[in-house]
Chains A and B, each alone.
Chain A
Amino acid sequence: NAGVTQTPKFQVLKTGQSMTLQCAQDMNHNSMYWYRQDPGMGLRLIYYSASEGTTDKGEVPNGYNVSRLNKREFSLRLESAAPSQTSVYFCASSESGGYNQPQHFGDGTRLSIL
């Protein structure tokens, strides 16, 4: 009964490095989301995928790319990491898109960029 699994849990990068954050859900949900949360703030949507094969920008997409690999997996890539991207990243999934469906969240990836 894993729900939403995110890897890695922690990562430290140097400015300019690239990396991919992985997310997988086992609830057969259609929609998946990537958020970032900065200290003391709420979550901000980076990208979402309403269904397999589609992706759309959220509130703060600059500097990120995503891939909906299949129904289970949704990855977030930082091509050239910047210190401003230091944050906690959460992946979530829901049966269908929008806030009318409850979202299930992973435990987050804590990313520090030096």
Chain B
Amino acid sequence: LAKTTQPISMDSYEGQEVNITCSHNNIATNDYITWYQQFPSQGPRFIIQGYKTKVTNEVASLFIPADRKSSTLSLPRVSLSDTAVYYCLVGDINDMRFGAGTRLTVKP
């Protein structure tokens, strides 16, 4: 059963690129890697999902190495409004766990 490990917190400044890495050593062959963002007093919001290599959308990029044992969420040019908790998830319906996530604080 895949378990994820992320840094508990990160600080950045406006305009910088932020990379949050998640390790998932036991990822299964058919597992996708999904990232969510959660603001205070709101439910999590889907950001991006990938299986291998690189995925990019209007919000973020997701880099996945060939062995798929880790993944990196990249947020380009963050702003104050990107301050949130970011969750990395892998797994199937029998192992549905959100960890504590990474609390990103963007400073002016």
A residues lining the B interface (CB < 8 Å): 4, 33, 35, 40-45, 48, 50, 56, 58-59, 90, 92, 97-100, 102-108
A92 engages B92 (CB within 8 Å): no
B residues lining the A interface (CB < 8 Å): 30-32, 34, 36, 41-46, 49, 87, 89-93, 96-101
A99 engages B44 (CB within 8 Å): no
Shortest distance between the CB of A53 and any CB in chain B (Å): 16
User: SS class of chain B's interface: helix, strand, loop or mixed?
Assistant: loop
A43 engages B98 (CB within 8 Å): yes
A105 engages B45 (CB within 8 Å): yes
Shortest distance between the CB of A109 and any CB in chain B (Å): 10
CB-based nearest B residue for A88: B41
Q: A92-B43, A99-B90, A99-B91 are in contact. Are A41 and B96 (CB under 8 A)?
A: no
A33 partner residues in chain B, CB cutoff 8 A = 96
